[in-house]
Amino acid sequence: MDGTLQAFLQFLKENGRAGFALFAAGVSTWVLIRYELIKADLIQLPLAYLACFGLFIWLGYWGEKISESVRRSLNAIRGDAAAHHNSLRNLNMISREEFRALSWCYHKGLSRIRADQSNPTIATLEQMQIIRVDGKHLPWHDRFFVIPAHVIEALGKSLGDRDPDSVGDEPPWLRDY
């Protein structure tokens, strides 16, 4: 008897949803009998218990899915906030070539650029989380990169008004080659 009880407790420990459903099905079957919604005979009692058990397994499944979705959303929000903070902090540490590339994009009014990821300037800006890949399905030499709005806003504070004529027509990362 002691081994059976330990096995049952181990089952409940590893399968919380099933344990909850077993308990809730028993309580809800008792409530159904108490309020005379079912009779305590050999047919209705097991059917009511199985129906309640299935209901609580289903409710537990959807409860886990909803909590998992909420947890993933919160983690994504935290990750976005961390990336936002990191990109603004890293903006103060960029080299002259990287600054020229960002100022060219700012003055041209571009928040999305097409560049070769093997270019050292683009690769460094991506590693510093100042720009991010938009189009990971494309080959590495033909990807689009997005400059987030908060980075463009920070550039606007340091560079002032946009002047497309001041930066030339060719992007700085193409002039390097």
DSSP state of 114: E
Gap between the Cα atoms of 65 and 57, Å rounded: 12
> Does residue 176 sit in helix, strand or coil?
coil
Split at pLDDT 50, 70, 90, the class of 111 is: confident
Task: Give the residue, 110 or 137, on which the prediction is more confident.
Answer: 110
CB 62 within 8 A of CB 133: no
Please give the pLDDT value at position 46.
92
> What are the boundaries of each domain within the chain?
2-86, 92-175
> Does residue 134 sit in helix, strand or coil?
strand
Angle at 46 between CA 43 and CA 48, to 5 degrees: 95
Split at pLDDT 50, 70, 90, the class of 1 is: low
Q: Of all residues in the chain, what percent carry a pLDDT higher than 70? A: 97
Q: What is this structure's pTM?
A: 0.56
Residues in a beta bridge with 100:
none
Helix axes 2-14, 16-34, angle to 10 degrees: 100
Mean pLDDT, the chain, as a whole number?
Answer: 85
CATH class assigned to 92-175: mainly alpha
> Does residue 144 sit in helix, strand or coil?
strand
Average of pLDDT values for 147-166?
A: 86
pLDDT at 138 over 80: no
pLDDT at 151 over 80: yes
pLDDT at 159 over 90: no
Please give the pLDDT value at position 118.
81
C-alpha distances out from residue 30 to 10, 16, 26, 48, 55, Å? 25, 21, 6, 10, 15
Q: What is the pLDDT of residues 65-93, one digit of tens each?
A: 999 999 998 888 887 787 778 888 888 88
